[in-house]
Amino acid sequence: MTTVKTKGLNHLGLSVKNLKQSSAFFTDLLGWEMSGFDESYPRCAVTDGQLRLTLWQVESPDNVAEFARRKHLGLHHLALQIETEQQLNELYLAAKDFAGVEIEFAPELLAGGPRKHMMCAEPGGLRIEFIWPGN
């Protein structure tokens, strides 16, 4: 039997166009906590208490290759679990009015339900899926 050599995700590093806008998406909209900031890179870390993301400011925000999920290697999207269906619906309402967020689709059944999900792009263009597991 093979022994697993890793133990879960320590953190996920994401490059963003605008560190201030992207970190606000996580802290102001989602209620995450900023757990570190380094002006010299610049970068910051945000956490929901279980998952930790490191957000890295790209060098030239006006000169980036926009993400195309069917053409680029790497992150297709980040899927975050939501505790209740009501919270998913409330998040949708808040996200659609949050500066820079683009809604890809509103909450809908996932694979016939009862699970539901929605998809959006945070202000820097990263695709974020929110899933209520339907339990």
Confidence of residue 31 (pLDDT cuts 50, 70, 90): very high
Alpha-carbon gap, residue 114 to 22, rounded angstroms: 31
DSSP 2: P
- 44 in any annotated domain: yes
> What's the domain count of the chain?
1
Which structure tokens are listed for 59?
Answer: 């060098």
CA distances from 9 to 51, 82, 126 (A): 8, 19, 19
pLDDT of residue 102: 96
| pTM of the predicted protein model | 0.90
Average pLDDT over residues 12-21: 93
CATH number of the domain to which 50 belongs:
3.10.180.10
Q: Taking a C-beta distance cutoff of 8 angstroms, is the pair 21, 100 a contact? A: yes
- 4 in any annotated domain: no
- 18 in any annotated domain: yes
Q: Which domain holds residue 44?
A: 12-59+74-132
pLDDT of residue 72: 74
pLDDT of residue 1: 78
pLDDT in tens, 91-135: 999 999 999 999 999 999 999 999 999 999 999 889 999 999 998
pLDDT in tens, 55-97: 999 888 888 777 777 877 778 899 999 999 999 999 999 999 9
